[in-house]
Amino acid sequence: MKDDRGDPSGALRRTRWGRALLGHGGRAPLAWALVAFAITASLGGGWRAIVRVRGPGPASVWVRDRAARADFGLDADGIVVVRRGHQSPAEPVASTPLPPGLAAALAKRAVEPIGAALDRPSWERARPAGWILVGELPPPRRGETHRGGQFLERWVFTGTPQCWQKAFRLRLPWRAKALASDKDGVWVGAARRCALRFYGHDGALHVDKELMDADGIEALAVVPRSQGEGGVWAAAGGALVRLGRDGKRLPGQGGFAHLVAVSSGGPHHP
């Protein structure tokens, strides 16, 4: 019998599982494949930097990773299918400009909007409207109470291009920087923790959700109804989080460096 001393794998090779792992005649195809994969992963930035990638497929949502200098396309299940690199750090996508009349109405109040989500003409509403995220309001007049904070304001177009009026205002329980709306309402996300709310266009609160395993939210994008029952994608630090219309968490994707934008309509452009 062959002496296995000096060859720690000898005893293992004589077993059925050992032969499958180490091969015959000193060859170790599976073992070497595992070693090669580990080395490749470590050179690519460590295990935590590995993102699930599979072959070409339809990308239904796009994210921008500033630190990785790339845009990634993911399918409806949150699997990365496309990567497009940038020569320089990818910056957040510019926000949509406000209608001149709405911008003028906000300017009169000395309020700088943090974010905006305008109703789309295809929603067939009676008149144009939109949601505005604003910070602390100007100091109050004598006798008024001013607590500061951030607010969601619903603005409605009432006639001529200059006629925009605030319908109502909602106080938020945390600082926010991202919002996105669909025909049923508006999603708003907290800036320093992964918390989201969904309000109907009448101001009613339908979803109030906080996730403890994700970072603050940089950007939001509504999930089209063509991809199920809707919901929202949230760019939250190193993860892309998805909630359903009822606030239930759905499959997302982790392993990113720093997401700064998300879009369900197509790839971002600097």
User: In sequence order, what are the beta bridge partners of 262?
Assistant: 63
**For the ranges 103-117, 164-178, 203-217, 241-255, which has the lowest average pLDDT?**
103-117
**Phi and psi at residue 22, to the nearest 5°:** -95, -15
- Residue pLDDT, tens place only, 209-258: 999 988 899 999 998 877 767 899 999 989 999 999 999 998 888 889 99
Percentage of the chain exceeding pLDDT 70:
65
Q: Per this entry, what is the length of the chain?
A: 270
Residue 190 pLDDT > 80, yes or no? yes
Domains in the chain with CATH codes: 1-50 (no CATH), 100-263 (2.130.10.10)
- Residue pLDDT, tens place only, 9-64: 454 444 544 444 445 444 455 444 444 444 434 333 332 333 444 444 578 889 99
The 10 Å Cβ neighbour count of residue 221 is: 22
Specify the 3-state DSSP secondary structure of 213.
coil
**For the ranges 20-29, 101-110, 170-179, which has the lowest average pLDDT?**
20-29
Distances from the Cα of 49 to the Cαs of 70, 85, 249, in angstroms? 14, 16, 23
The reported pTM is 0.71
Exposed / middle / buried, residue 266 (Cβ in 10 Å: 0-12, 13-18, 19+)? exposed
| pLDDT value of residue 137 | 58
